Structure 1
């Protein structure tokens, strides 16, 4: 097993709760593969505990058997949930994939509520519930309609790790290779830990392997949330291929407007897609665009899904992905650049502290990143390029950025301009001219800054 990486704040917070003298009901949820189980197990590994992975049926019997191996006195308790939980009073109980208990018996929520209210709440029992079905955990466990509403003492929505966490997994990799890896894995621990370097050699072997996780992974993810898997796959495919407006998605999928909105809402709720509006607009703006939330799904629909038959036949090569991968990484690098600027912002290494960052577009004009401090009326406009830039080309991009910034409508604001690229020739001269300029060589400096701040 690889060493535990990142999640330091989450691990610290969880450990503090697990060692308190109070009753704790902690809910940890997030999409599959994001690292919930590993986080929970890391937090309890030095503490006596029961860990149980819920299955599709007969969970009470399986749970009791698991608990008895750790705490033999459980075998003498009443053989129902309340009796079993009473026998584990003052103990740490971790139940993974809690939605499976709910599917088997919806009354389990009320049974847990009763056990907590009448017995456990006055003790130091720790009950940790994990779930990968975001929709079910939100609706059945966290919502005000849930019998457990008001009982939880803490909840944690686990999200993918940031790009810069990849350095801890691959300390000897170049930043360029890490961007390539991130384009396939995002910050999802399961996918990251599958990768071996060199990346392209590993990908070639993975595509030719008869047991590759690529083949069934997306169906596996979607079945956890939805019954109409084929419809959701079609919508995700449309968005991954650049159909970002409702009309474009509707035209691609053939779904009517009245049909598509609920699907989009469900995909947003489960965090498989995100809806973005121009950074200066309101959340209700009709200019909203939809994007696939993580790079793995984007990669899969872009490169794997269209070639599944050839992958099965053994006639598809990773070299075919590599030929167009730099173009694909353009959008991926925008995500990396946004995280880079956020880290610089935290470290106080920008001309001003921004409170909001996002992209901007209007009538065919786009700016990759705009960082705003609305109180101080300051704006930083940034273009992102996954390419090597000579000074002259970089100046041309920055000059055009100045032109586009005038279209944003922040006439009385103080403005700054910057560029993030794979490599920029003579950044010093651009900085002397009053521009901000960063490339991959600056990432090491940023990591050192943030690690000491």
Structure 2
């Protein structure tokens, strides 16, 4: 069987859940798992692979957004009758007037003496269509399905909705284990592209680890060649995945979409985002704050706070959470028109012109996450978390701060700088800038160690406590994250 890149750990977890069902090792014969992950991250493909490998009968139902509930239930019954569930013939020709009846038919179709798998994909759309779906699911699960050896997988891309299904007071609370599917990590991207560590990090920043895009990267192909090839194809997933993902979440003309695009093109503060959306007349705080909260809940936007011993919660910075969407918003969104008229070379030229400056900022959260995965590390003693620090004027702005805990920290373990240039190593001038800026970090003193992360190495003889390069950053994902680091 073909190797399923970067998904072996998830398949193991799913197999463990199926074993609970198969061997009846849990308190109830049936088990439920809520599977979440960003749109187009490969959830459906992963679950289909799992079902095909499982050796047990299964049914997969894919919901459609905005569908009439009556038509949706008709498709649900069709999926049941066309599946290989042993009792599928018992529900042939049946119709359900509501979701309670439809799910009750599912309980009839699954066997009661052998394991089976049920996948309900895009559950948020079912919840959106019919307010009664959640209650019906809870009732049928409690009365019928949980008493049968079935593994129920509830799948959804809307992270905020899927998270809310598990909240106290909601019908399905406490009935399912959570599972989050992440994009491929930098180590997976390196394996699939056959690139060196520095070039693999470039590939990760461009693809975000989204499988359908990474698979288009012919092993050994340079960044420039890959972009030229993909930008010659108007249907390339590199070009289309961003638009398809956003259309699945937000209308193009909405304030929410405008806020996302503002952050994606470099606005990092609440005020500058408000000004950008309002085109000179700032959007009111009462309008923008809920929008940014929604984008954060959906994990499209991340919020960074300066890490130090003195809290500064009002000095937050916003950024696009995943690398691919950040790249798409910065370069590809406006390049689509050029590609469609056969001038992808113009889009490629704009990327090349701004690549070094864009990459310097975009790589920072990846480097911080990589260092966090290395913790605990003897080169970074006393550090349990990794962040950055800045003042209101962003002068100075310290790329790396290690501390004993999230803000407010009680001890600063190190400060550091990221230099991510093709051919310039970290040198004496960089060290002097780091030392001068670090003295402004609350909690840092003259004895606090200094570290550097550099794409092109570090000059010999600099008084650094540690230095890291692309190899160490990429390799951090080749081992499990420690409980302290935890970055995905």
SS of aligned partner of 2:236: coil
Q: Which residue of 2 aligns with 1:28?
A: 35
Change (3 A) 1:443 1:309: closer
SS of aligned partner of 1:327: helix
Decide which of 57, 60, 70 is 1:51's aligned counterpart: 60
CA distance in 1, matches of 2:205, 2:151: 38
SS of aligned partner of 1:330: helix
Decide which of 319, 330, 344 is 2:360's aligned counterpart: 330
Structure 1 position 352 matched with structure 2 position 365: no
Q: Which residue of 2 aligns with 1:252?
A: 276
CA distance in 2, matches of 1:273, 1:241: 13
Shift of 1:437: 2.0
Stretches of structure 2 that go unaligned for 5 or more consecutive residues are 96-101, 482-488
Change (3 A) 1:340 1:199: same
Q: Which residue of 1 aligns with 2:397?
A: 366
| Residue pair 1:370, 1:380 contacting (<8 A) in 2 also | yes
SS of aligned partner of 2:230: helix
CA distance in 2, matches of 1:39, 1:309: 33
Structure 1 position 166 matched with structure 2 position 189: yes
User: How big is each residue's C-alpha offset from its partner over 1:273-319, in whole Å with a ceiling of 9 and x where there is no partner?
Assistant: 11111012788711011111112121112112233332222234113
User: How big is each residue's C-alpha offset from its partner over 1:307-357, in whole Å with a ceiling of 9 and x where there is no partner?
Assistant: 3332222234113312221111102222332233123325x3424152111
Q: Which residue of 2 aligns with 1:387?
A: 421
Decide which of 121, 145, 148 is 1:120's aligned counterpart: 145
Shift of 1:445: 7.0
Structure 1 position 239 matched with structure 2 position 239: no
CA distance in 1, matches of 2:404, 2:167: 34
Decide which of 193, 197, 203 is 1:175's aligned counterpart: 197
Change (3 A) 1:88 1:220: same
Shift of 1:260: 1.0
TM-score with structure 1 setting the length: 0.88
CA distance in 2, matches of 1:111, 1:445: 46
TM-score with structure 2 setting the length: 0.82
User: How big is each residue's C-alpha offset from its partner over 1:225-267, in whole Å with a ceiling of 9 and x where there is no partner?
Assistant: 3356542332122112221111101111102322211111111
CA distance in 2, matches of 1:88, 1:449: 39
Q: Which residue of 2 aligns with 1:191?
A: 213
| Residue pair 1:383, 1:419 contacting (<8 A) in 2 also | yes
Greater fraction of residues in helix: 1
Shift of 1:223: 3.2
SS of aligned partner of 1:235: helix
SS of aligned partner of 2:108: helix
Q: Which residue of 2 aligns with 1:64?
A: 77
Decide which of 341, 346, 366 is 2:371's aligned counterpart: 341
CA distance in 1, matches of 2:103, 2:478: 50
Change (3 A) 1:18 1:435: same
SS of aligned partner of 1:86: helix
CA distance in 2, matches of 1:185, 1:311: 18
Q: Which residue of 1 aligns with 2:98?
A: none
Higher mean displacement: 222-231 or 363-372: 222-231
Q: Which residue of 2 aligns with 1:221?
A: 245
Q: Which residue of 1 aligns with 2:306?
A: 278
CA distance in 2, matches of 1:336, 1:311: 29
Q: Which residue of 1 aligns with 2:161?
A: 136
CA distance in 1, matches of 2:149, 2:108: 12
Stretches of structure 1 that go unaligned for 5 or more consecutive residues are none
Change (3 A) 1:136 1:285: same
Change (3 A) 1:4 1:385: same
Q: Which residue of 2 aligns with 1:424?
A: 457
Structure 1 position 73 matched with structure 2 position 73: no
Change (3 A) 1:401 1:123: same
SS of aligned partner of 2:182: coil
User: How big is each residue's C-alpha offset from its partner over 1:368-395, in whole Å with a ceiling of 9 and x where there is no partner?
Assistant: 011112598351111001115666x612
Change (3 A) 1:268 1:351: closer
SS of aligned partner of 2:87: helix
RMSD of aligned C-alpha atoms? 2.8
Change (3 A) 1:168 1:214: closer
Shift of 1:400: 2.1
| Residue pair 2:250, 2:257 contacting (<8 A) in 1 also | no
CA distance in 2, matches of 1:314, 1:127: 47
CA distance in 1, matches of 2:412, 2:151: 47
Structure 1 position 42 matched with structure 2 position 49: yes
CA distance in 2, matches of 1:50, 1:308: 38
CA distance in 2, matches of 1:100, 1:449: 36
CA distance in 2, matches of 1:390, 1:208: 32
Q: Which residue of 1 aligns with 2:484?
A: none
Change (3 A) 1:365 1:114: same
Q: Which residue of 1 aligns with 2:485?
A: none
| Alignment coverage as a number of residue pairs | 443
CA distance in 1, matches of 2:138, 2:310: 40
